[in-house]
């Protein structure tokens, strides 16, 4: 997809904050469509030292990753799991996980750690796009980021629909909180399920079942019925995220139309004309 900045013929700088930044491989970041643009800065947090070092080793100059435990700012117990990507500030809920085919989260150890609230992290200079993937502790992160959220335009957060970790907040808790902060749910991405025991349908124990478990992301956007609260200079950034990252062209166009109504500009026309042009 042609980037929005190219379609409009202008630069649109963005600030990304990434909490839970371990890489799953090239092109797998939620913001991969933005990552190579020097106008996009990224401040990331990954407490696994090796994973954090790996991110910094391959990062462009405007991307920096820090080995911080982000949460509610208190001392917590970190639960180390056999797969580091499933480690969490909450213990795995073995009793529930065992109801499903091939869904173990083996616990291999614990350690006491000091968490930091995002609002207390001096390394963050701005935030248009906030991505959170911390295995059940998403609401802890968000509650410690109210000042940051006041500036953010889009929140991309993993959510669980059942308690895969003991005591964790679920999607409904995250939804109530973010709606209270002026966001609305845009869509889910990567909804995951697994078959309940004892059945194995079509001989595949890894196949999806009927019970949804989590979504790789619930995508929240500034409430579109309250766009008056979004400054003029933020509307192109908002539109860029929706176009470049999600391909939500109708929302991008809606935002540019709102910008034109305020400024007398022609951003929407340039956008639609650009979309209509055949690929070079």
Q: Report if residue 112 sits inside a domain.
A: yes
Give this prediction's pTM. Answer: 0.96
Give the CATH number for residue 37. Answer: 3.40.50
Domain extent at residue 106: 4-273
**pLDDT greater than 70 at residue 280:** no
Q: What is the per-residue DSSP string for 92-111?
A: B-HHHHTTBTT----EEEEE
Q: Report if residue 88 sits inside a domain.
A: yes
**pLDDT greater than 90 at residue 219:** yes
Cα(18)–Cα(5) distance, rounded to whole angstroms? Answer: 22
Q: Report if residue 69 sits inside a domain.
A: yes
Q: Are 1 and 269 in contact (CB under 8 A)?
A: no
Q: Report if residue 184 sits inside a domain.
A: yes
Enumerate residues 6+ apart whose C-beta is below 8 A from 275: 7, 249
pLDDT in tens, 200-214: 988 999 999 999 999
CB atoms within 10 A of CB 103: 20
pLDDT in tens, 10-30: 999 999 999 999 888 788 899
Q: Report if residue 279 sits inside a domain.
A: no
- Percent above pLDDT 90 for the chain: 92
Where do the DSSP E strands lie in 74-194?
A: 75-81, 107-116, 129-132, 154-160, 183-193
The torsion angles phi and psi of 240, rounded to 5 degrees, stand at: -65, -45
Q: Which CA distances in Å does 27 have to 32, 77, 84?
A: 5, 32, 20
Q: How many CA atoms lie within 13 A of 158 on its CB side?
A: 26
Q: How many domains does the chain have?
A: 1
pLDDT in tens, 246-279: 999 999 999 999 999 999 999 999 999 999 987 7
Q: What is the mean pLDDT of residues 180-198?
A: 97
Residue 31's SS3 state is coil
Enumerate residues 6+ apart whose C-beta is below 8 A from 151: 126, 127, 128
Cα(255)–Cα(234) distance, rounded to whole angstroms? Answer: 10
**Residue 188 β-bridge partners:** 218
DSSP state of 154: E
Q: Report if residue 280 sits inside a domain.
A: no
Q: What is the mean pLDDT of residues 143-156?
A: 97
Q: Report if residue 278 sits inside a domain.
A: no
Instruction: Give the pLDDT of residue 62.
Output: 94
State the DSSP H helix or E strand holding residue 272, giving kind and residue range, or none if neither.
helix 267-276
Q: For 31-166, where are the alpha helices, taking DSSP H only?
A: 49-58, 94-97, 138-143, 146-149
To which residue do tokens 């992301």 refer?
217
Q: Report if residue 177 sits inside a domain.
A: yes
């Amino acid at each position: 997809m042609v980037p929005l900045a190219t379609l409009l013929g202008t630069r649109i700088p963005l600030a990304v904050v990434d909490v839970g930044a371990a890489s799953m491989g090239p092109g797998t970041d939620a913001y991969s469509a933005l990552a190579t643009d020097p106008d996009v800065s990224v401040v990331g947090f990954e407490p696994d030292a090796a994973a954090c070092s790996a991110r910094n080793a391959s990062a462009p100059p405007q991307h920096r990753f820090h080995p911080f435990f982000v949460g509610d700012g208190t001392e917590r117990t970190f639960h180390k799991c056999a797969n580091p990507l499933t480690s969490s500030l909450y213990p795995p809920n073995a009793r529930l996980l065992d109801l499903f085919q091939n869904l173990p989260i083996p616990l291999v150890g614990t350690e006491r750690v000091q968490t930091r609230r995002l609002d207390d992290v001096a390394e963050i200079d701005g935030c248009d796009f906030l991505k959170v993937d911390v295995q059940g502790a998403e609401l802890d992160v968000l509650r410690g980021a109210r000042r940051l959220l006041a500036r953010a335009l889009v929140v991309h957060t993993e959510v669980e629909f059942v308690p895969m970790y003991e005591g964790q907040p679920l999607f409904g808790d995250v939804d109530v909180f973010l709606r209270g902060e002026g966001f609305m749910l845009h869509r889910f991405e990567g909804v995951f399920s697994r078959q309940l025991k004892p059945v194995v349908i079509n001989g595949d124990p890894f196949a999806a079942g009927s019970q949804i478990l989590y979504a790789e992301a619930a995508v929240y956007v500034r409430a579109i019925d309250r766009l008056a609260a979004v400054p003029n200079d933020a509307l192109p950034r908002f539109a860029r995220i929706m176009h470049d990252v999600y391909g939500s062209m109708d929302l991008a166009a809606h935002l540019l139309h709102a910008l034109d109504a305020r400024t007398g500009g022609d951003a929407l026309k340039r956008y639609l004309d650009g979309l209509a042009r055949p690929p070079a």
